[in-house]
Chain A
Amino acid sequence: MHFLARVFVSLKPAVNDPQGITVLRALQRLGFSGVQGVRVGKYLEVRLEAADRAAAERQVAEMCGKLLANPVIEQSRFEVAEEAPATH
């Protein structure tokens, strides 16, 4: 079975995010006065083959723990969806 995992990596709340603050200020300058806060993170799409959804989720969780996020400064979450086999 083929899956697409969408992985979201963001800085932990306690970690200062100067990029987010800079984007926040830019948005406010543009007139979006209601913007309260911005945090910049990463979005990854991982295509993988696995026996079933649970196996795919286990793999992606392991990927996050080992490489995709650094637990010292980041947190991650992901969504796994079945998809048609890649054609390339």
Chain B
Amino acid sequence: MSLNRRKVPAVPGPGIRAASAVGRAPSGQRARLRFGIVVFPGTWSDADCLFAVQDVLGQQARYVWHMEADLSGFDCILLPGGFSYGDYLRAGAIARFSPVMDAVKEFAAQGGLVLGICNGFQVLCEAGLLPGALLRNEHLQFRCQWTHLRVENASSPFTSACQQGQVLRVPISHGEGRYFADPEALAELEREGRVVFRYCESDGRITVEANPNGALNNIAGIINRQGNVLGMMPHPERCCHSLLGGTDGLDVFLSLLQWRARLANTR
């Protein structure tokens, strides 16, 4: 796996947007994707998400304050990482009752794409949009490190630009990322191919050592049954530019662009 297999401008600047929008957009794509980036009190990865989709990929994006209740006009909603409401009570427990979450549920029910990253994943689980829960890391440490993820399902809107089994190098930054679901829910996820990312070694092997938090079955990311809501603990938005030490996270966002282009072509 080459970390710099894509030529990303070395220095961010005004030129990036135009260059990347022209150079990256999958063929057939004309209109830019419209991203809404939800901001709760305590969200901290919102600017990283904006940078990834707007500055690097040249898409439309704006922040959505948690009190907003109208998500019409967006193609994809990002729930970024952070500590919404200080993670009080449980990570994501209070954020799920923000007005914007009713709108996110409605948006998802209508087939809109929703990507929850880190704290966003925790919020999606608390809100019941994804099964299971994220528990305190098994070793009780907050882990901020690079991990390797194996793409277990390359047919989702979030991974369609990946190859099945491809290994991505993406950082984590969390203290509560141990995925848990009861045995029935877990079996269902596995049976239906809804485990999208699994922590692995750099060569793709799934090992106990590669699991940074004790997640069941090395689960790093899952998708809902309809396939339009993905939650993942690792941060793709933090590895979308060579300046950030890696560009593998771009695959997730490029998948969304590709997905949209495919939809446009089949209409």
Contact = CB atoms under 8 A, between A and B. Distances in A.
A70 B214 contact: no
Contacts of A19: 136, 140
Interface string A6-46: 00000000111011001000000000000000000010000
Interface size band for A: 10 to 19
B89 A15 contact: no
Interface residues of B, number: 20
Contacts of B126: 70
Contact of B135 (A22, A42, A67, A73): A73
Interface of A: 14-16, 18-19, 22, 42, 67-68, 70, 72-73
Given A70-B126, A72-B181, A15 B135 contact: yes
A38 B132 CA distance: 24
Contacts of B139: 18
Contact of A70 (B93, B136, B181): B93
B142 interface: no
B90 interface: yes
B219 interface: no
A47 B74 CA distance: 42
A73 B118 CA distance: 18
Contact of B93 (A18, A22, A67): A67
Interface string B133-150: 101111110000000000
Nearest to A66: B97
Contact of A72 (B89, B94, B125, B214): B125
A15 B179 CA distance: 11
Interface in B100-144: 125-126, 131-133, 135-140
Nearest to B140: A18
A68 to B, nearest CB: 7
B134 to A, nearest CB: 9
Closest 4 CB pairs of A and B: A72-B133, A73-B133, A18-B138, A18-B140
B138 A70 contact: no
B89 A68 contact: yes
Contact of A67 (B89, B131, B214): B89
Nearest to A71: B133
Interface in B166-185: 180-182
B132 A72 contact: yes
B97 A67 contact: yes
B182 A14 contact: yes
